[in-house]
Amino acid sequence: MKITSLLVLKINPDGSDPIILANAADVSHFGYFQRSSVKEFIVFVGRTVAKRTPPGQRQSVQHEEYKVHSYNRNGLCVVGFMDDHYPVRSAFSVLNQVLDEYQKNFGDSWRSVSADGAQPWPYLNEALTKFQDPAEADKLLKIQRELDETKIILHKTIDSVLARGEKLDSLVEKSSDLSAASQMFYKQAKKTNQCCTIL
Amino acid sequence: MADHRPVVGAGENPLAELELILESDPLIDEVGFIHPTQLASLSGEEGVDAPGPKNPRFWSRDGKLGISTEVLLPLYKEARRAFFDAVRDFRTRCGSGGDGGDGGVGSEVMKHSRALLLVSSDFGTAWNSRKLVASKEESFSMYMDELRLSELILSYSPKSDQAWSHRRWVIKRIAGQTSSLPEIIMKESELVEKIAERSKMNYRAWNHRCWLVSYMTKERVMYELKESKTWAGLHVADSSCFNYRRRLMTRILEDLCCKDGVSSVDYSFEVYQCWKDELDWDEILIKRYIGREGLWLYRRFLSLCWIRHFTTHAHSTSCNSNYIAEQTTDPSFFLDKELDLVGSSLVVQDDHFDDFQAQALYSTTYILWLAKQMPSPLEIELRQRLTARNMNDLLSEFCPNSSFLCGSSAEDTK
């Protein structure tokens, strides 16, 4: 039961890569040398999923042992990296809460933001710590009724979110979010995740 | 410890370089294999004037050691060769009767096997030669060094069976010879939790913790139960962790039933209370995390032991009955509570994620399983209650394969 990261992004109407408005991540449970790669991947996958979440939609994407949940509210998108076991309903009530808080704090000023991470936002880190326990998120669930309105779309792999003809491998190769080390990390992980290579 | 050291003077031999780093910084607690570009950027952060070689192969700072993936293969080959040479020397020296003065050769074996294990964690021969050398020396500090090395290896290979079993070997060797055993056991237990946080579903780590239980004192067992509760509550999918709780709970029952040990009324009440708390806590989790099989399986264990040891209908299996007689409960009360729980789990609120269906299925199999395991008078009572609550149809709906179980209940009640 773990939230690794929460991101708030601005979706560009012209279809270019979304801009990261705020980003909180807890990578302490990763090995020291993996942490920088993990952070890069969070940014990369976060952008990839957010870009493909149409306005008004909620979706959950399974990516390895993670579930990436995302919710796009009129161009303002929130993405959460939870592990497989974090209850989906609780996850979306956290996302909802984050968006509410964001709009309370910044209003519509995000529409004019044009670069990553321009607004520091301590609340996101607090939320990341607090909602590690899904019981905290469930307290929100009781007040949020809005959740039931739209159905959550589940994707079994990140590839199923991608448009026809797009491939994760080639996105990884092209991405400027990922360093050479991270790309190697990705290839290695892919190799070891294949069945029966070691055992 | 000096801060950073792209080591100079070790020449082209990566093994010598690695061993020099390990020798000079005994506080290294984490190893990682990293891409040359990452290594270069790490070295780059330390300033342009760093006196290291142009092409660094190692990086170490603040107790972290990074090894370039490029150097792994030559390093492994070199380490393996050096290790087998050292072992051969060691054998001949021991064989020729010079077992007293083997310090030099023994330390060569230790030195090279350490480097070898760092790049190949499951190299059984290397672990075994370490055991051989350590058991000849019989020094406490050497055994502590073994625990440290194993921890270092677990930092990058948390599921290495050899590394875990090496720890058990060390503990067996020092048990009864040192007064600091309780402290060591405590640290072991904390280590498992730390590693479990990093690597999910780590059976070997939890298995190690289960093994530790037999070395724990009564008080420690109670303490562990309390301490690991929060963690378990946040990792309900980790069955191994519930298996560990099962081991702890079994242990407190064993302590209670232990014939020669004098268990006080106070202690038996404590155990009773602990068991009751555990059942209540499991119920809270079941209601919070819908459709988790592990929680229901854990409940099977808790309920069955509860019926056997803490209810008045319990048959001969209950031990120490005079102590707990005062606190025993009416089994009917317990059955009602369980049926309430199962009844509420059969309500499917929505079918978005299949979790309510799973919950209904697990609760059904839970209650049917329990019925089969209970002493027969209780089973009949349970079946009557199921019929009275009109739950049989619901049960067979969620668990069609159980019809033969439900069917037998219909016959019983006729």
Range of the domain at A20: 3-193
**Number of Cβ atoms within 10 Å of the Cβ of B124:** 10
Quick check: B32 and A34 CB within 8 A?
yes
Confidence band (pLDDT; 50, 70, 90) for A195?
A: low
A199 lies in some domain? no
> What is the full DSSP assignment across B231-277?
HHHH-TT-HHHHHHHHHHHHHHHHHHH-SSS---HHHHHHHHHHHHH
Closest CA to B32 of B50, B70, B62, B59: B59
How many angstroms separate the CA atoms of B275 and B301, rounded?
Answer: 11
pLDDT value for B186: 94
Question: Which residue has better confidence, B112 or B350?
Answer: B112
B56 touches chain A (CB under 8 A): no
At B371-403, the pLDDT tens digits run 888 888 888 888 888 888 877 777 777 776 655
**Mean pLDDT lowest for which of A180-189, B80-89, B205-214?**
A180-189
| Angstroms from A113 CA to nearest CA on chain B | 30
Whether the Cβ atoms of residue B324 and residue B309 lie closer than 8 Å to each other = yes
Say if A158 falls within a structural domain. Answer: yes
Residue A86 vs residue B44, higher pLDDT: A86
Least CB–CB distance from A31: residue in B30, B234, B237:
B30
**Which residues does B212 contact at the CB level (< 8 Å), separation at least 6?**
B171, B185, B188, B189, B192
- Using a CB-CB cut-off of 8 Å, the residues of chain B touching A1 are 234-237
What per-residue confidence (pLDDT) applies to A95?
A: 93
Cβ within 8 Å, pair B237-A84: yes
Chain A hits for B156, CB-CB cut-off 8 Å, are 31
pLDDT of residue B356: 86
Q: What secondary structure does DSSP assign to chain A, as a single string?
A: --EEEEEEEEPPTTSSPPEEEEEEE--TTS-TTTHHHHHHHHHHHHHHHHHT--TT-EEEEEETTEEEEEEEETTEEEEEEEETTS-HHHHHHHHHHHHHHHHHHHTTGGGG--STT-S--HHHHHHHHHTTSHHHHHHHHHH--GGGSSPEEEESSGGGTSPTT--HHHHHHH-SS--HHHHHHHHHHHHHHSTTS--
Q: Which of A16-20, A111-115, A140-144, A154-158 has the highest mean pLDDT?
A: A16-20
Please determine, for residue B333, whether its predicted confidence score (pLDDT) is greater than 60: yes
Answer whether A1 touches B (CB < 8 Å).
Answer: yes
Tokens of A28: 């302490």
Distance, in Å, from the CA atom of A42 to the CA atom of A185, rounded to the nearest integer, reads: 13
Mean pLDDT of B234-257: 90
Please state, in angstroms and rounded to a whole number, the distance separating the CA atoms of residues B345 and B266.
Answer: 36
CA of A141: how far to CAs of A91, A97, A193, B318, B354, in Å? 10, 10, 35, 44, 19
CB A11 within 8 A of CB A27: no
Going A175 to A178 to A184 to A185, the CA torsion angle's sign is negative
Q: Is residue A157 part of a domain?
A: yes
**Closest-CA distance of chain B to residue A65, Å:** 10
CA distance A199 to A193: 11
Closest residue in B to A180 (Cα–Cα): B37
Average pLDDT of the segment spanning B272-278: 91
CB atoms within 10 A of CB B168: 15
Residues B38, A151: C-beta atoms closer than 8 Å: no
DSSP string computed for B157-179: -TT-HHHHHHHHHHHHHHTTT-T
Would A74 be classed as within a structural domain? yes
Q: Does the structure show a pLDDT above 90 at B114?
A: yes
Contact map slice: A 99-128 vs B, CB within 8 A? none
Q: Are the C-beta atoms of residues A153 and A57 closer than 8 Å to each other?
A: yes
Radius of gyration (C-alpha) of chain A in whole angstroms: 16
The pLDDT of residue B11 is 56
| Structure confidence at residue B225 (pLDDT) | 93
| Residues present in chain B in total | 414
CB within 8 Å: A179 and B37: yes
- Examine residue A123 and state whether it is found in any structural domain, yes or no: yes
In which residue are the tokens 């990884």 written? A172
Closest-CA distance of chain A to residue B197, Å: 6
User: Between the CA atoms of A28, B228, B336 and B252, what dihedral angle is there, to the nearest 10 degrees?
Assistant: 160
What is the model's pLDDT at position B7? 45
Q: Which residues of B touch A30 (CB under 8 A)?
A: 198
What pLDDT, on the 0 to 100 scale, is given for residue A118? 65
CB contact under 8 Å between B200 and A65, yes or no, is: yes
pLDDT for position B204: 94
Q: How many CB atoms lie within 10 A of CB B39?
A: 25
Report the residue of chain A nearest B66, measured CA to CA: A33
A87 at interface of B, judged by CB pairs closer than 8 A: yes
Residue corresponding to tokens 């819908």: B290
- The CATH number of the domain where A62 resides is what? 3.30.450.50
**What does the alpha-carbon distance between residue A67 and residue A124 come to, in Å, rounded to a whole number?**
19
Q: What value does the mean pLDDT take over residues B321-340?
A: 70
Percent above pLDDT 70 for chain A: 89
Bridge partners, residue A22, by sequence: A8
- State the residue for tokens 């309510």: B356
- Band of pLDDT at residue B318, cut at 50, 70 and 90: very low
Percent residues over pLDDT 70 in chain B: 83
pLDDT at B309 over 50: yes
| Whole-number pLDDT of residue B9 | 45
Number of other residues whose CB lies within 10 A of the CB of residue A19: 19
Average pLDDT for B176-193: 91
For chain A, what is the domain count? 1
Query: Pick from B33, B156, B198: which is nearest to A29 by CB?
Result: B198
**Position B3 pLDDT exceeds 60:** no
Q: Which two tokens stand for residue B48?
A: 């342009």
Chain B residues near residue A153 by CB distance under 8 angstroms: none
This complex has an ipTM of: 0.81
Long-range contacts of B229-232 (CB under 8 A, 24+ apart): B229/B281, B231/B193, B231/B196
Residues 180-219 of B with CB under 8 A from A: 197-198, 200
- Opening angle at CA B186, ends B183 and B190, nearest 5: 140
* Residue contact A132–B236, C-beta within 8 A: no
Residue A178 has pLDDT above 60, yes or no: yes
For residue B128, is pLDDT > 60?
Answer: yes
Average pLDDT over residues B106-114: 91
Residue A198 within a domain: no
Would A167 be classed as within a structural domain?
A: yes
Of the candidate ranges A135-139, B10-14, B21-25, the one whose mean pLDDT is the lowest:
B10-14
Contacts of A184 in chain B (CB under 8 A): 35, 69
Range name among B19-33, B172-186, B217-231, B386-400 with the lowest pLDDT average: B386-400
Tell me what the pLDDT averaged over chain B comes to: 83
- Give CA–CA dist B115/B80, Å, rounded: 9
Using the predicted structure, report yes or no on whether residue B320 has a pLDDT greater than 70.
no
Query: What pLDDT was estimated at residue B404?
Result: 52
Q: Does residue A101 lie in a domain region?
A: yes
Name the residue facing A184 among B35, B41, B353 (closest C-beta): B35
Q: What single letter denotes the amino acid at residue B269?
A: F
CB distance B339 to B387 below 8 Å: no
Query: Which tens digits make up the pLDDT trace of A35-85?
Result: 888 899 999 999 999 999 999 889 999 887 789 999 999 899 999 999 888
Residues 133-162 of A with CB under 8 A from B: 133-135, 138, 151-152, 154
| pLDDT over 90 percentage in chain B | 42
